[in-house]
Chains A and B, each alone.
Chain A
Amino acid sequence: MRTSRQHISVPGITPLVDVVFLLIVFFVLVSRVVDLDRVPMDLPMPDPALSAPPMERSTAVVNVVPGDDGEAAGYRLDGTTHATDQDGRNALRHALAAHLLADPTTAVVIRADRRARSGGVLPVLHLARRAAAEAGLAVPVRVELAVERPR
């Protein structure tokens, strides 16, 4: 009697490699999309602008979260949203001071929507100045205003 040939199943290495590559690409994509530093908003777009590309150095990005009718709904720094009341502003000032203490060359980047009222944005300038004093900075704090480059 003839015995039936036994099939040894071997997992194909090609689909495995495919899946691994797809996983790598997926995580590369996700890491690019998820940017806690930047809240989606329409930045001011002066045209023609003499703005410059952001410098490659330490930054503390303060997002003025857009609220109703141009008011600021909060200030977002390092993934934490601080309220616009006095307690929130104090917390933001301490967080900025911690950045400046860790690295005195840190630039405070202010991102605010083009429809925002200045009354919600200007306090961040005061807080940056006070944070620099709190951190004992001997030089003026560097502030950068984020804008969108016209395409």
Chain B
Amino acid sequence: MADKPRSFQDIILRLQTYWASKGCAILQPYDMEVGAGTFHPATTLRALGSKPWAAAYVQPCRRPTDGRYGENPNRLQHYYQYQVLMKPSPPDMQDLYLGSLEAIGIDASAHDIRFVEDDWESPTLGAWGLGWEVWCDGMEVSQFTYFQQVGGHDCKPVSGELTYGLERLAIYILGVDHVMDMPFNDPQTPIPLTYGDIFKQTEQEYSRWNFDIADTEVLLQHFVDAEAECQRILDAPAQDPKTGRMIIMAHPAYDQCIKASHVFNLLDARGVISVTERQAYIGRVRALAKACADAFVQTEAGGAAA
């Protein structure tokens, strides 16, 4: 029997240790608001091109429409994902993944672990892949995807991506009923903190802001600005007149794409985007993501000859 983690952070630390031991670079969260760990350039951009890559990281995610003022046992507008990306996907990726479950206290011999079809598609990123949602005793504990396309480019080689929804997974492993009651640090410690101690208030504050207060006029402007800036960055000549070097600014441009995507999510939560407009907005973000992917594959990290 694997020994059980005792807190939320214990689970994160174990995942970090496990994936580090499997050769992943342990990265830090990306310093921007994103809707999913996939948006981190360490996944989106690094899945492109021929260069091998192995990285794992925690990514805070924001989904304004999922805000429930901290009341729902597992729905949050801000939560954490654990993300692993390996390129090329190793032949034993499923076994590596099952090893990670064991590391966080899920003993495969006592549970029912299943790989259930779930094709992944991100219309905003122009990306898709095939894989599964992984079930443990009927609960989805991870997404497992073999990326086929990102930003409209075929992935060659193919990356294997793992995404763990950390709160949901931890609630399950730690046996608590409500996310806010979950121990964040060790409950035996002099100052034990629950998830609620840290996030209950912010869930309320952001839920209110997301749903009712966020200035939609300003947000609409932010969207337009980010879109324009992204295009402006990509339109700049590849050769930097100051240094004389070829510097394609794929990452700064991609930051603007991330920004536009998040602003869209906020607008969506404010309910100001109609169904028809929705598709149009998603299309505009996708156009940015594609342009950034086009730029990235021309850079060294993107596999272009130096």
Whether A and B are associated in the same complex: the answer reads: no
Q: Which residues does B use to contact A, with CB under 8 Å? A: none
Q: Which residues does A use to contact B, with CB under 8 Å? A: none
